[in-house]
Structures are given as structure tokens and as C-alpha cells.
């Protein structure tokens, strides 16, 4: 019964937020990963529901009430002043508090990954985006120009404008890599979680490689868009194939994650366990 009350309260708070995001920010390329993150979170909590529900009812009110109250307050401030970042940011606090109140610290230990994964649903602050996007766009444009020029394509660059053949393309904010790095970081951490327990050095190297892999995958994406435009025209580059390039980004990144994981498994094998003694 207590879970139904908790779920009803969570739905009353956040379903309107999800509905607004589905018709708004999740429609754009910058925050389009939000709906995917929500689906992943639902699946993660669903797979843990049995283990959490079987835990003994040992709530931890001294630990549970502070994050729950702070989460509710954060949500109310965001709701009152229409600050979606605060509304989204309140989710892990509210859920952590609810789990502590209903099942204690054992529940939060079981659900540590989905609780942290809520972070990837929080929209990036505009100030941060504006501060980083400009330099990233210039760097990506420079790399793409150098790569294609080196293999013989008639390409030139002026700032973030790439000219190839009769076409000009601007490396826009959505192609700067910041938002894709954020979404690919979510993909990378999920990949690490699903791969199961690994050595600490293995996990550290995988974690350190997330942002470089995301950056390289984004360069591949921009190269793909430039070549599509060069061979098929501006309409193809800005139309359906532009969206398909986002899928290329995910496939390339996932491929890099998989290859790195396999390489680390080979060079950093799990240590052999000593045989049990009797």
C-alpha cells in the first residue's frame, strides 16, 4: 500500500513535467535524450522492484527526511518560478528520501545506479552551454576540415563555417558536441553498469574514456553530415539524413565502448581467486 501512495505522489509531481518536456525540450536535438533516459530509469527501477520490495521494513527516517524535504522544496521552487532544471534535479532527492523512509539504506544501496542516473535527465544550464559551446564548435570544425582536406576533399573553413564544393555548412550548437557528450556519457555509464562487475582499473579507464569517445563520435557525425551534403546535396544533409547522423553518433560511440571493454578484458583479466580451503 505504501508503494502505491509513493508512486501516486511521484506521478502527481512529475508526470506533468514529463508531459511538458515531451512536447517541448525533448522534441529538440539538444535534449532529445531525456525521453530515453526516462525509459531507461523506468526499466532499471522495474528490474529492481522485487529485490527492494523483499527487503525488511526498516525505514531510516533520520536519513530519509532531509533529502525528501530538500527535494520537495527544490521541486516547489522550480514549479513556482518555472525553472525546469530544479524540477528535474529534485527527482533523485525525492526518490532517495522515499526509499530511505520506506526501506532504509539497503534500498538505496540496491538502487544506487538509477538514483545517480537521474542526473542525465537534468537539462544542462544555458550559462554552461554558452560558455563551452563556442570553443567546441571551432575545434570540431577545425578537425573536420583537416581530416577531409587531408584525403583530398575541396573543403575550407571560416570560423565555424565549412565550405565544401558549392555548399556551406555551419557547425551549429547541436553539433558542437556538448549535448551529445552528455547523452553519450549516459550511454557509456549504462554500458558499464550492464557489463557487470569489473576491476577498479578497468572501470576507471572506461569512465575516463567516455568523454573522448563522445567527442570522437561527434566528429564522425559531423564528417558524415558534410559528406552527405557534398554527395547528395543540401536538402539531404539538412533533412532526414541529418537525423540519421544522430544514429551514426550512437552506433560509433557504442562500438568504441564495446571495443574498449573487450580490449581491457584481454589486457586486464580478472584476478584468479584462491581456491577455498577446508
Active site residue 49: no
DSSP 3-state assignment of 23? coil
Active site residue 79: no
Which one is catalytic: 109, 175, 266, 273?
175
C-alpha to C-alpha distance for 206 and 203, rounded to whole angstroms = 5
Long-range CB contacts for residues 181-185, cutoff 8 Å, separation at least 24: 181/211, 181/214, 181/215, 181/218, 182/33, 182/120, 182/124, 183/32, 183/33, 183/36, 183/120, 184/210, 184/213, 184/214, 184/217, 184/249, 184/250, 184/253, 185/120, 185/210, 185/211, 185/214
Which one is catalytic: 49, 103, 109, 221?
221
Helix (H) or strand (E) holding 156: strand 155-158
Catalytic amino acids? 175, 221
Amino acid at each position: 500500500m505504501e508503494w502505491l501512495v509513493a508512486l501516486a505522489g511521484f506521478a502527481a509531481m512529475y508526470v506533468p513535467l514529463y508531459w511538458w518536456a515531451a512536447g517541448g525540450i525533448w522534441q529538440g536535438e539538444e535534449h532529445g535524450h531525456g525521453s530515453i533516459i526516462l525509459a531507461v530509469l523506468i526499466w532499471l527501477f522495474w528490474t529492481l522492484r522485487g529485490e527492494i520490495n523483499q527487503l525488511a521494513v526498516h525505514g531510516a527516517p533520520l536519513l530519509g527526511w532531509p533529502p525528501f524535504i530538500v527535494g520537495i522544496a527544490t521541486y516547489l521552487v522550480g514549479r513556482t518560478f518555472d525553472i525546469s532544471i530544479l524540477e528535474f534535479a529534485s527527482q533523485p532527492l525525492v526518490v532517495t528520501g522515499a526509499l530511505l523512509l520506506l526501506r532504509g539504506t539497503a534500498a538505496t544501496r540496491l538502487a544506487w545506479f538509477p538514483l545517480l542516473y537521474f542526473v542525465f535527465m537534468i537539462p544542462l544550464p544555458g550559462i554552461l552551454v554558452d560558455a563551452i559551446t563556442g570553443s567546441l564548435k571551432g575545434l570540431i570544425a577545425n578537425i573536420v576540415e583537416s581530416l577531409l582536406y587531408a584525403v583530398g576533399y575541396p573543403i575550407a573553413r571560416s570560423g565555424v563555417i565549412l565550405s565544401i564544393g558549392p555548399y556551406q555548412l555551419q557547425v551549429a550548437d547541436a553539433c558542437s558536441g556538448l549535448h551529445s557528450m552528455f547523452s553519450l556519457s549516459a550511454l557509456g555509464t549504462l554500458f558499464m553498469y550492464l557489463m557487470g562487475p569489473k576491476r577498479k582499473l578497468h572501470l576507471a579507464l572506461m569512465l575516463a574514456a567516455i568523454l573522448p569517445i563522445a567527442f570522437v563520435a561527434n566528429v564522425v557525425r559531423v564528417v558524415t553530415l558534410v559528406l552527405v551534403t557534398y554527395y547528395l546535396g543540401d536538402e539531404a544533409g539538412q533533412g532526414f539524413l541529418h537525423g540519421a547522423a544522430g544514429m551514426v553518433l550512437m552506433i560509433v560511440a557504442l562500438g568504441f565502448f564495446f571495443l574498449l571493454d573487450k580490449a581491457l578484458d584481454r589486457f586486464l583479466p580478472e584476478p584468479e581467486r584462491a581456491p577455498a580451503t577446508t
